[in-house]
Structure 1
Amino acid sequence: MKKRLTEGQFHEAAKGLKVGEQTLEIARGVLIDGKPQADFVALLGLSRGAVSQAVDRVWSAHQAKNLPAGYERVSAVLPEHQAFIVKKWAEDATRKREPTK
């Protein structure tokens, strides 16, 4: 899945983030304009990790602000069989939130 945001979504996600202008410039280019991260690596002389982190800061803020009511994002390290079950729960929750066709 390609990470993309509208202008409004980007502004809402960036609101209140304590990041520099360069981070916002990179994130805007990737998330709104659809430019490859590699373009910013070459243009700005940054590492791939630094560019990825800039995009991720805004994307993570967007995701955190757009959880459905009653939902919570979690991260956990689990044994393989428990991770399988949790992934199935996540798929079920996503399916339940999708509008029926």
Structure 2
Amino acid sequence: MASLLRTISRQGPSLWIRQISSTSVNRSDDISKALKQKEAPIVDAKFTLLKPEEQAQKTKLAGVIEVPEKVDVSPITGVPEEHVKTRRVRIYVPPKNAMQSGTITSKLGN
């Protein structure tokens, strides 16, 4: 391996580029063939090994459930609908006490 590296280093960087470059890039007919060739379809890995009936079941479960009529949830929650839709709520988080300002550095060591 060492002798190979010595040989390559003596011959210069122009030889490296020639040996590394691909022949398909230099030939225009290979590029035209590659552009005409069709690729395989992308298949989701979750469904690849499933049986057809398992696949159908998973697609059914992934769908949206449609409810035929509007459901009134106010008896369940106890809050009237007009309060739920028009109510504005401000969430207040009080700032840390000045004595707790250095707690972040002590938690990093754990």
Question: Which one has the largest radius of gyration?
Answer: 2
Q: TM-score, normalized by length of structure 2?
A: 0.21
Bigger proportion of residues as helix: 1
> Please, what TM-score do these two structures have when normalized by structure 1?
0.23
